[in-house]
A = this chain, B = another copy of it.
C-alpha cells in the first residue's frame, strides 16, 4: 500500500514454497482479532470458510509457532484468537509495509509517475 495511489506494493514473505505472510493473510489475521472466530472473519471479508481455514493452516505451519489458536467447538463452532506471536508478526508486517511507502521517494518512481497517463485512453 502506498500514500500515492498510483503505486501499490505487495510484500510476500516465503517459507519454502508457501507464502507465510502477505496482504490477504494480514487482513485475515486482523479480521480474526476483530471477530474472535475464523468463520466470522471469513464472512466479514467475503471469503469462504474453507479458504480462510487454509490460509490460517499455512500461517500456523510457516512460523516459529502458531499465529491463530482455534478453540474446538461444534462444526465451524468454537472461537479463535490471534496469539501474541501472531500479533507481533502482524505488527512487524504492517510496519514493513509502512516503511515501503518510502518507495514513492525513489527517483525511478518519480520518473514513472511522470509518464503515467492521468487515465487509461480508450
A residues lining the B interface (CB < 8 Å)? 5-16, 18, 20-21, 58, 61-64, 85, 88-89, 92-93, 95-96, 99-100, 103, 106, 108-109, 111-113, 115-122
Contact = CB atoms under 8 A, between A and B. Distances in A.
Number of copies: 2
B99 A100 contact: no
Nearest to A19: B8
Nearest to A103: B100
Contact of A95 (B9, B96, B108): B108
A103 B99 contact: yes
Given A115-B64, A122-B61, A10 B7 contact: no
A115 B29 CA distance: 17
A15 B6 contact: yes
Which one of A21, A93, A120, A122 has the highest number of Cβ atoms from chain B below 10 Å of its Cβ?
A: A120
Contact of A16 (B12, B64, B109, B119): B119
